[in-house]
Amino acid sequence: MNIKSENMKSENMKFDIVIIGAGPSGLFSAFQAGMLGMKSALIDALEVPGGQCAALYPEKPIYDIPAHPYILSQDLVDKLYEQANAFNPKYFLAQQVVTLKTCDNFFELSTSKNITIEAKAVIIAAGAGSFGPNRPPLKDIEKYEGKSVFYLVSNRNLLAGKNIVIAGGGDSALDWALSLSEIASVTIVHRRDKFRAAPATISKIQEFAQAGKINLATNYQLSDINGNDGLLKEVIISDLNGNSKSLKADILLPFFGLAQNLGPILDFGLNLNMHHIKVDHPYFETNIKGIYAVGDVATYEGKLKLILTGFAESAAALHHAYCRVFDGKPLHFEYSTTKGIKQ
């Protein structure tokens, strides 16, 4: 991606829509805004668009995107970026929204780089907010981080031929276990014998384990790590009875989820529930008129945390915001097949 970030102050900082968060839902929101004739800006704390997909697991395969039997996370981000850029949205990267003020008929946002932006409506697509990995409580683990302990896989091929221990029982742990088992020796360590992943993925893990393509160490948890100069030699695991055993390991991948922090968004006056933003259904508007929340950060009855759910929420929110953005003008909906995109 050839990304230009608008990090300098400018006199022309007025937009129809400001999108907080440039992950998949944020990027698709920019596309939808463009389809509706809205000028949009995206603000994100990361240096590149893509959110968790780009920062934490760019090579993780995703299996539930329509029309794609599977697609790598970074490839999905690249396609969404390309799709949105048909409408030339502006990117304000490596900065957070620190204040959001409600004015007469617009919102005023200021960022951590002292940039002030005005918009008629706001879409919050912040995902998990500012995030970092949940680290396992292992002694001296920081000495190994970045050398043989990683919380994301940025280049799958660098792990070829390694003895890899993956700790965790969720989608990320199991998806990476399947992927890396093609090029390395993989052992999954999980504290229970039941996994928290898509049923199809669990079935595949069990199939691979029976075929000897993956090793399972269930009802165990990480206990200790040993090595020299930041390079692992073994991972010690123990069961609930205190019985321990050693696993030969070159690489440890702990996938225990993310520590979620919405940061300044907590001070915007929005109704929150467990660090998620409450929205109505089916328009995904918050308690503040003109501010919407979509994707993983939004919560409502029946919510499914899927990327495709965020796409649908973005479309509905922007169609609802159209009347506000264009001063009461009614929206005459057109299908993309008839409307098209100006080249």
pLDDT along the chain (343 residues), means of 10: 63 88 96 97 90 79 92 94 96 93 94 95 85 84 94 87 97 91 97 91 96 97 96 96 95 85 86 92 96 96 95 97 95 74 62
Is the separation of the CB atoms in 121 and 107 below 8 Å?
Answer: yes
In this predicted structure, what is the pLDDT of residue 8? Answer: 56
Neighbour tally for 94: CB within 10 Å: 16
The continuous run of DSSP H or E covering 109 comes out as: strand 107-111
> What is the rounded (10 degree) CA torsion for 211, 217, 53, 233?
-100
> Beta strand 116-124 with 107-111: parallel, antiparallel or unpaired?
antiparallel
Neighbour tally for 115: CB within 10 Å: 19
Q: Could you tell me where in the chain the CATH 3.50.50.60 domains are found?
A: 14-131+258-339, 135-254
Report the distance separating Cα 68 and Cα 23, nearest Å. 19
The CATH classification number of 14-131+258-339 equals 3.50.50.60
Is the separation of the CB atoms in 168 and 190 below 8 Å?
Answer: yes
Question: What three-state secondary structure class fits 85?
Answer: helix
Smallest Cα–Cα separation from 54: which of 31, 33, 25, 75?
75
Spell out the long-range contacts of 153-159 with Cβ–Cβ below 8 A and sequence spacing 24 or more. Answer: 153/57, 153/58, 153/59, 153/60, 153/180, 153/253, 154/58, 154/59, 155/59, 156/59, 156/180, 156/183, 157/183, 159/183, 159/184, 159/251
In this predicted structure, what is the pLDDT of residue 141? Answer: 95
Is the separation of the CB atoms in 238 and 221 below 8 Å?
Answer: yes
Smallest Cα–Cα separation from 80: which of 4, 132, 28, 134?
28
Is the separation of the CB atoms in 278 and 300 below 8 Å?
Answer: yes
The CATH classification number of 135-254 equals 3.50.50.60
Sequence-separated (6 or more) residues with CB below 8 Å from residue 69 = 63
Query: Strand pairing partners for 234?
Result: 226, 248
In this predicted structure, what is the pLDDT of residue 47? Answer: 83
**Residue 21: left (phi > 0), alpha (psi -120 to 50), or beta?**
left
Q: Helices (DSSP H) in 247-335: which residue ranges?
A: 307-325
